[in-house]
Amino acid sequence: MLEEMRAQLTEAAQAVLNTIWNYRIEKDKWISSAWLQYQLGKNRNTLHSGLRNLNGCIVRENKGDYNYWQMTLLGVLFTHQGREYEKMLEGYLRYIKGKLESGLEPKEIKIRSQEIKTLLNLSDEQLQIFNAVLQTAQLTSGGGGNKNEWETYVPYYLNDLLLEDDLSAYIERYAFKDYDQNLPVSYDERTRHHSNERNQLYSFANPFDLTHKEDVTPNPETKDSLDIFISHSSQDRNIAARLIELLRNALNIPADRIRCTSVDGYRLKVGIDTNKQLRQEVHDAHVFIGLITPTSIASAYVMFELGARWGATRFLAPLLVSEQYIKLLQGPISGLNALRCDSREQMLQLVEDIGEELNINVKNLASYSQYIDALVRECEVWQQTIANPIQSQTEQSNIVDYDDNDIIALLGTYIRAKQNSYERFVIRFSDAENELSLMAGAAEKHIETSARHNGFTILRKGKNTIELQYPYPTPAVGGSIPRLSGF
């Protein structure tokens, strides 16, 4: 399929892709629209003709402080060195598969740049380029370093490499996942495209009224557009507050450029139409951070905010409070690389990534290092609090006031986080109650209902435990390769 589509590329389309990718390699950032036009010459026909032969699943325009062009893995594979990158990726994935076959979990596999350089016989320049390929493809998870020396971990979704024999086909299937040949390349047209498809699903006037048809026209270029929107549960406000401290001190962002509705100084204005304003800001903010915890995933508003942002195909950063909650990322956002806010190294990466997205120079590490430490400590406190079965009367009055539907939803996220797609697994009622801060007896009362609602088979239920199994294994990434009729 890749070869068939390569043959359909025009010279103008190839020139556009090569120009964008060469700039990304040289400058370590994506090219602005103005500079792309300049690089291709004064004749606008080259750019326009090339883009007509492409679509938004190959290359796409995005908007921040300026318009810029960004490529997907599929676009990278269509560049003049695309076949060479395929061979590199095969070697990289073969290495990971070997580690998985030895019994290691993805989170236990640390990838070091010098190992990859030796394994694939790369020069220093080729190693830097391959690092850019891996980042674009989202085949790494967290880590740190620079272009010359780096280390990272394996994303959890590469666990399905255990089932793969043909890595070349796997790469092709991965590159074509969610392919839509009708997706526009321009930001505004792409936003309208997604809005037409998902307007009912992501309505905010009433999150549960799927018949509501009010439209939102994102307007990220207005001077009032936020820099950062933090989607979160009010119960996680302390972590959100520490995150804001870090971002403001590392990137020098004014308070009025950040929205975090549960933290003082970053709330909505009094008297404003809350639903209308949230709909607009979720779409328009240059950077969207989703703080992922069991309580946030149980929140209808957080889920709709995540869905709306994903539908807008703009910058979305899932942020986990702890690695144990990686399986809370379900559906479309499960394909996004998530970082952990209890990891100092990954918070350094978050600051760098957001700085690049906003085109802001990051301050010297010494000026914000203490705020990273404060955020990591807050995450540790949070984890100790939810895991501690003995809480003060004040604490319990703040966090266990759930009705039956709340408890069923929370248990659902807890079960999914513990899920093993291929084996039976056991849930201890007391563990669930301690971790979710539920009253004694709540898990035993509601866990059967929650399990059935989430598609699990109940194998056995005892006085203190329940044994569950998910009936179907998780499918391989991307499924079958889509049929394409051309561009």
- Per-residue pLDDT tens digits for 78-102: 999 999 999 999 999 999 999 989 9
Residues 208 and 166 in one domain: no
**Rg of the chain (C-alpha set):** 23
Contacts of 393 (CB under 8 A, 6+ apart): none
Q: Considering only 37-51, 90-104, 167-181, which range has the smallest mean pLDDT?
A: 37-51
What CATH number did the domain enclosing 331 receive? 3.40.50.10140
Does residue 137 sit in the same domain as residue 284? no
Contact 136, 17 (CB under 8 A): no
The reply to whether 99 and 235 lie within a common domain is: no
CATH of the domain at 436: 1.10.10
Beta bridge partners of 318: 290
- Answer yes or no: is 255 within a domain: yes
Q: Do both 173 and 256 map to the same domain? A: no
Domain membership of residue 483 (yes or no) is no
Most confident option among 70-84, 265-279, 320-334: 70-84
> Is residue 389 over pLDDT 50?
no
Measured CA distances, 351 to 32, 253, 289 (Å): 21, 12, 12
pLDDT in tens, 109-128: 889 999 999 999 999 999 99
Tens-digit pLDDT profile for residues 401-447: 567 777 887 888 788 777 654 467 788 888 888 777 778 788 888 89
Residue 340, token pair as written in the block: 């952990």
- Averaged over 159-169, what is the pLDDT? 86
Full domain range(s) for residue 222: 197-385
265 and 285 part of one domain: yes
Predicted local distance difference test score (pLDDT) of residue 227: 93
Q: Are residues 16 and 96 in the same domain?
A: yes
What pLDDT digit, counting tens, does each position of 213-226 carry? 444 454 444 446 89
| 441 within domain boundaries | yes
Closest CA to 467 of 433, 434, 420, 435: 420
Residue 211 lies in a domain: yes
Residue 281: what residue type? E
Q: Same domain, yes or no, for 223 and 366?
A: yes
Short-list 453, 294, 270, CA closest to 387: 294
Confirm whether 462 is domain-assigned. Answer: yes
362 and 235 inside one domain = yes
Q: Which two tokens stand for residue 379?
A: 């995450």
Give SS3 for 260. coil
CA-to-CA distance for 387 and 433, rounded, in angstroms?
9
Report how many domains make up the chain: 3
Q: Are residues 39 and 76 in the same domain?
A: yes
**Angle ∠(30,247,272) on CA atoms, nearest 5:** 100
Beta strands in 86-186 (DSSP E): 110-112, 141-145, 150-153
* Residue 485 lies inside a defined structural domain of this protein: no
Residue 476 domain flag: no
pTM over 0.95: no
Whole-number pLDDT of residue 141: 72
Residue 25, pLDDT > 70, answer yes
